[in-house]
C-alpha cells in the first residue's frame, strides 16, 4: 500500500483533474454525434468485448477512454520524473520527490513508464483502428514534452499540446473521425494549460537560469512571463467562446464559460511578480474548479439540447 501511494505521489494523480474533464467533453460530444456508426468504428476485439461484458457502448468506450487517459498520464509524469531526476535533486523545491530521496528507484520508475505505455496502446487497440494507429503519436507528444525544457522556451505550449489531446482523442474513440468542435476545445486546452504552466514555472525562474533550462519566466522574467500567461488565457477564452457559437450551445454552456473565464481571471489576480505565495492556489484550486465546473455545464447542456 505504501508503494502504491508513492506511485500516486510520483505521478501527481490529483492533477488528472485538469485534462480528464475535457476528455469527458470530447466523449459526450462524440456520443452526441454517434448516429449509428458503432459497427463501423469498433474493430473485432472491441465488438467481442462489447457483447460479452456490456449492454451499452457508452460504458465500453467511456471506460476505455478513461483508462487511456490514466495510462498516458501515468507514463508522461513518470517519464518526466525519471528524466529530470538529476535536476529535481538539485532544486530545493523538488528535492523531496520520490526518486531524489530514494523512495522509488529510477529503474522501477522507468519500468512503470514502459508498462503504462503498453497498457495505453492496448486500450487504444480495443477502441478503434484510428486510435490504435495514432497511439504512438500521442505517446511521442506526452513523453517528448519532458525533453523540451532543455532546448526551447515553448516547453509550456508542448505541455498544453499533450493535454489538448484529451478532447480530440475521446471524440475519435467514439466517432472514428476528426471534427472542428473538439479541435476548438483542444485549442482552448493548449492555451489554458500553457498559461497556468507559466505561472507554475515562476517558482523556478532562478533555478532554471542556473541550470541553463528553458522557460518563459527564465527568458523574460516574472512580470513579462505573467503578461504572456494572460495573453494565452485570453486566447483560451476566445477558443471556448468560438466553440460555443460554432456548436450552437445553449444557456448552460455560457454559464460554464463565465465560470471558466472568471477562474482564469482569479488566478491572475492573486499571483504577482513579487508575491508567489498563492501560486499553488492558482495552479491547483482555480484551474481544477475551472475544468470540472465547465465540463459539467457543457455536458449538461448537451443533454438538455440534444
Q: pTM value?
A: 0.90
Number of C-beta neighbours around residue 220 at 10 A:
16
Tell me: the pLDDT tens digits for 226-276? 999 999 999 999 999 999 999 999 999 999 999 999 999 999 999 999 988
pLDDT of residue 13: 64
- What's the pLDDT score for residue 15? 67
pLDDT at position 41, please?
44
- Give domain 2-305's CATH superfamily: UbiA prenyltransferase (1.10.357.140)
pLDDT at 194: 97
Q: Report pLDDT for 117.
A: 97
Per-10-residue mean pLDDT of the chain, 306 residues long, equals 68 75 92 57 48 57 92 94 96 92 93 96 95 97 96 96 96 92 97 96 95 96 97 98 96 97 94 89 84 95 81
What pLDDT sits at residue 1?
A: 52
The neighbouring-strand residues paired with 272 are 275
Distance CA 66, CA 248 (A): 27
For the beta carbon of residue 37, count every other beta carbon within 10 angstroms. 14
pLDDT at 16: 72
Q: What does 186-233 look like in DSSP terms, one character per residue?
A: HHHHHHHHHHHHHHHHGGGHHHHHHTT---HHHHH-HHHHHHHHHHHH
Around 239, how many Cα atoms within 13 Å sit in the side-chain half-sphere?
Answer: 20
pLDDT at 131: 95
Cell 485538469: give the residue.
Answer: 18
Amino acid at each position: 500500500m505504501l508503494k502504491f501511494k508513492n506511485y500516486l505521489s510520483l505521478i501527481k494523480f490529483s492533477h488528472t483533474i485538469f485534462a480528464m474533464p475535457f476528455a469527458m467533453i470530447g466523449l459526450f460530444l462524440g456520443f452526441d454525434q454517434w448516429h449509428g456508426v458503432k459497427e463501423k468504428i469498433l474493430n473485432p476485439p472491441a465488438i467481442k468485448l462489447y457483447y460479452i461484458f456490456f449492454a451499452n457502448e457508452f460504458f465500453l468506450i467511456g471506460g476505455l477512454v478513461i483508462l487511456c487517459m490514466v495510462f498516458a498520464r501515468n507514463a508522461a509524469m513518470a517519464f518526466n520524473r525519471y528524466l529530470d531526476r538529476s535536476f529535481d535533486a538539485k532544486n530545493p523545491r523538488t528535492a523531496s520527490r520520490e526518486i531524489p530521496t530514494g523512495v522509488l528507484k529510477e529503474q522501477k520508475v522507468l519500468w512503470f513508464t514502459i508498462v503504462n505505455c503498453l497498457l495505453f496502446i492496448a486500450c487504444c487497440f480495443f477502441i478503434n483502428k484510428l486510435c490504435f494507429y495514432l497511439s504512438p503519436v500521442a505517446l511521442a507528444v506526452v513523453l517528448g514534452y519532458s525533453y523540451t525544457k532543455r532546448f526551447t522556451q515553448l516547453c509550456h505550449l508542448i505541455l498544453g499540446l499533450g493535454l489538448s489531446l484529451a478532447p480530440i482523442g475521446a471524440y475519435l474513440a467514439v466517432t472514428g473521425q476528426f471534427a472542428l468542435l473538439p479541435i476548438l476545445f483542444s485549442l482552448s486546452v493548449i492555451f489554458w494549460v500553457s498559461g497556468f504552466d507559466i505561472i507554475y514555472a515562476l517558482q523556478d525562474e532562478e533555478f532554471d537560469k542556473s541550470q541553463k533550462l528553458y522557460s518563459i519566466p527564465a527568458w523574460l522574467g516574472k512580470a513579462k512571463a505573467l503578461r504572456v500567461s494572460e495573453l494565452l488565457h485570453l486566447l483560451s477564452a476566445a477558443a471556448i467562446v468560438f466553440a460555443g457559437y460554432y456548436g450552437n450551445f445553449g444557456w448552460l454552456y455560457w454559464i460554464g464559460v463565465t465560470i471558466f473565464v472568471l477562474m482564469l481571471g482569479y488566478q491572475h489576480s492573486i499571483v504577482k511578480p513579487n508575491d508567489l505565495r498563492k501560486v499553488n492556489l492558482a495552479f491547483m484550486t482555480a484551474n481544477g474548479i475551472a475544468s470540472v465546473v465547465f465540463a459539467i455545464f457543457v455536458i449538461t447542456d448537451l443533454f438538455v439540447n440534444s
